[in-house]
Copies of this chain bind each other. A is one copy, B any other.
Amino acid sequence: MNNEAPKIIQLPEIKAILRGANIFEDIENGFVAYSRNEAVIPPVGEMLFEEPPGEMHLKYGYLKSGEYAVVKIASGFYNNPQLGLNSSQGMMLLFDQKTGVVKGILLDHGYLTDIRTAVAGAIAAKYMAPRKVSCIGIVGSGIQGKFQLEYLRSVTKCRKVIVHARSAEKGQAYLDYFKGSDWKIEVTNDLEYLARNSRLIVTTTPTKEPLLQADWIQAGTHITAMGSDTMEKIELAPNILGKADIVAVDSLSQSESRGEVYQSVQAGTLNRKAVFELGKVIADPELGRQKDDQITVADLTGVAVQDLMIAKAVFEGASS
């Protein structure tokens, strides 16, 4: 009893398909379905490595009304660039949810995770950032620091950016990446300066010590924190979430054990009951920002429903 062979899709084809796909709407729909309990998303699997340090995450799930189940494997090995390899690696697998037969193998080396994460940041900004943003602050100059900015293009007219880089070299690489674009980018190593002058801040680092302090955050600021996705990582001092008018997460259940909300609830600065899911905000924008001077935070740990939606879009866009 044989199966049809799975479609194996390599990175160049994945990138080509994404240029023509409306991922943004797909992922919005995914968040809404997830928050309506229309998805089955088991807990995130995690495998840690010590020598060299690395981590692998397994995220998987399906929409009850859908055709496919996704299994996404994404790893971060932070010494990889020394070997000429990307830190991010991995793949996405699509299965027929009625038979378990594998339909697609997307050899994206972590690229789709990077994209769906950046899209989620843009969705958070769409519903939660103030209407007028005079300056965007990006904390972290790596892949996510770049992709987050690229995907913000469609949800804000602001083109002024302050980016925090850990070295002048990394800052220059960031500037080079955006050379020729209409982004007006200033590089800084001063986080307080970035925070005080940006009304839309995206944090993208794997730090385990908070980078942003509460008294730097001005009225009328939205922060999307997407770097912290484990129990140990934290980018925002816990009293930032305590001070915020609105705190949303992509996944309430994941926020019980990972991310900024987990950290702030542990620190006693945040009441878990005050937090709701991004999917609820998308379905009912009145849950999002209501006034320009509110402080809002979106804490994103990454949900398999995003992987499902982007994998499905790529699979269906691929030549058979």
Contact = CB atoms under 8 A, between A and B. Distances in A.
Contacts of A52: 98
Given A80-B100, A99-B80, A45 B58 contact: yes
5 closest Cβ contacts across the A-B interface? Answer: A75-B100, A89-B100, A45-B45, A77-B100, A1-B86
A210 interface: no
A73 to B, nearest CB: 6
Interface stretch (A101-109, A163-171, A309-317): A101-109
Interface string A82-117: 011110011101010111111001010100000000
A6 B107 contact: yes
A257 B109 CA distance: 34
A34 to B, nearest CB: 15
Interface residues of A, number: 48
> Per DSSP, are chain A's interface residues mostly helix, strand or loop, or mixed?
strand
A75 B91 contact: no
Contacts of A105: 105
Given A71-B73, A99-B89, A48 B40 contact: yes
Given A3-B109, A45-B42, A75-B95, A89 B102 contact: yes
A209 B56 CA distance: 37
Interface string A232-271: 0000000000000000000000000000000000000000
B60 A45 contact: yes
Given A45-B45, A47-B42, A47-B60, A99 B83 contact: yes
Interface in A263-292: none
A130 interface: no
A85 B3 contact: yes
Interface of A: 1, 3, 5-6, 8, 10, 40, 42-43, 45-49, 51-52, 54, 56, 58, 60-62, 69, 71, 73, 75-77, 80-81, 83-86, 89-91, 93, 95, 97-102, 105, 107, 109
A73 B95 CA distance: 10
Given A45-B42, A101-B85, A93 B73 contact: yes
A49 B101 contact: no
Nearest to A46: B42
Given A45-B60, A62-B47, A54 B100 contact: yes
